[in-house]
Amino acid sequence: MSKIKICGLSRTCEIDYVNEAMPDYIGFVFAKSRRSVSAIEAEQLRMQLKAPIIPIGVFTNSPIYEIESLYRKGIISIAQLHGTETEAYIKQLKKSCDIPVIKVIKVKEKESLGLLEPSIADFFLFDNYKGGSGHSFDWDSIPQCEKPFFLAGGINCSNLEQAISYHPYCVDISSGAETNGIKDQEKIMELVKRIEFTY
């Protein structure tokens, strides 16, 4: 059964939405984005988040000490790396605080990447090469891999069933849970319900 992550939470009311819907994961974006939050904002939101929802931090080439600090404070439980972070970077990050890591792979339309290079990351995440655009990519181009993977990019209520037919460990949804760029409570509830009822 695929899990679900609602990414890009930045307001108190959005924590209320996910506390009611109970997705498996949520995402706090620390990379440059209209959905980004500061460490202080994320800490305040995290304090209101119900267990067992797991908070993931989204980063782009951030200093390791910033991720380590957020992890040790309990603000995030997993690091999602969207930049050009190398295997050496991931190794150093895991050595510093042993945080689980999601390595993002940006897939170009109709371009298969074949077998992925070995990685010490715990998960892969496959996204449109224009990450954060709200557009999907050709899911037939998902690379072959043995690691559990997150699937992102343009997933919403209308194509959720198709997305999970590719057997991702987790679907990662941001704009698909929004209306006019704002998280929509009804869409979040519907997405989580559809995940549950698909199986």
Domain CATH code at residue 130: 3.20.20.70
Residue 139 · residue 111 · CB < 8 Å: no
Alpha-carbon distances, residue 110 vs 150, 165, 173 (angstroms): 19, 18, 21
Lowest-confidence pick of 108-112, 141-145, 154-158, 191-195: 108-112
pLDDT for the residue numbered 133: 53
The number of folded domains in the chain is 1
pLDDT, one tens digit per residue, over 7-50 is: 999 999 999 999 999 999 999 999 998 999 999 999 999 999 99
Q: What is the pTM of this model?
A: 0.94
Give the pLDDT band of residue 180 (cuts 50, 70, 90). very high
Residue 18: the pLDDT is 98
Residue 38, domain extent: 3-198
Instruction: Confirm if 27 and 80 have CB atoms less than 8 A apart.
Output: yes
pLDDT at 129: 66
Q: What is the DSSP letter of 102?
A: E
Q: What tokens appear for 168 in the block?
A: 């991702």
